Amino acid sequence: MTKRYKNLLFYWFPVLIYCLLIYIQSSYPSAKNIPAVPNIDKLLHLAAYAILGALFFRAFRVQRFKENINLVIILSILSSSFYGITDEIHQYYVPSRNADIMDIVADILGSICGVCIYYLFAIILKKRGRSIY
C-alpha cells in the first residue's frame, strides 16, 4: 500500500465517516426525551466537535506541511468549525430542527478543545518516547 493510500485510508477516511455520521444524525428530528440537564445539547455539540477537531488534526498532521504545527492547528480548528457551521445551516432546512448560534459557538469551542487536547496528548506521548502518528 502506498503512503498516499495509507494516509487516505487511515487518516482521512475516519474524518469523512465522522462527518457523514454528524450529517445523518442532524438530518433526523430532534430527540424528544433529552435528559433534564441544563444545556446538555451544547455539551453534546462541544464533545462531537472536539472529536472532529482531533480527527482533522490527526489527518493534517501527516500532510507535507506537518512540521508547521501552527498551520496544522489552524487548519484543523477552521475545518471542524466550518463543518459545524455548515451543519447548522443544514439543520435549518430539516423539519422540526432549527439552527442555533449557540450551537455554532459550542461547535467552535469543541473544535478548539479537541485540537488542543489531542496536540497536548501527542506532546506528552512524544516526551515519553511514543507517538500517535
Sorted by where each begins, the domain ranges of the chain are 3-23+40-127
The reported pLDDT for the residue numbered 35 is 65
pTM for the predicted model, two decimal places: 0.90
pLDDT of residue 31: 67
Q: Alpha-carbon Rg of the chain, whole angstroms?
A: 16
The percent helix, strand, coil of the chain (3-state, each to 5) is 70, 0, 30
Grid cell 462541544 in the structure block, residue: 46
- Characterize 77-104 residue by residue with b for buried, 16 or more Cβ atoms within 10 angstroms of its Cβ, and e for exposed: bebbbebbeebbeebeeeeebeeeeebb
Residues 67-108 pLDDT 10s: 999 999 999 999 999 999 999 999 999 988 888 999 999 999
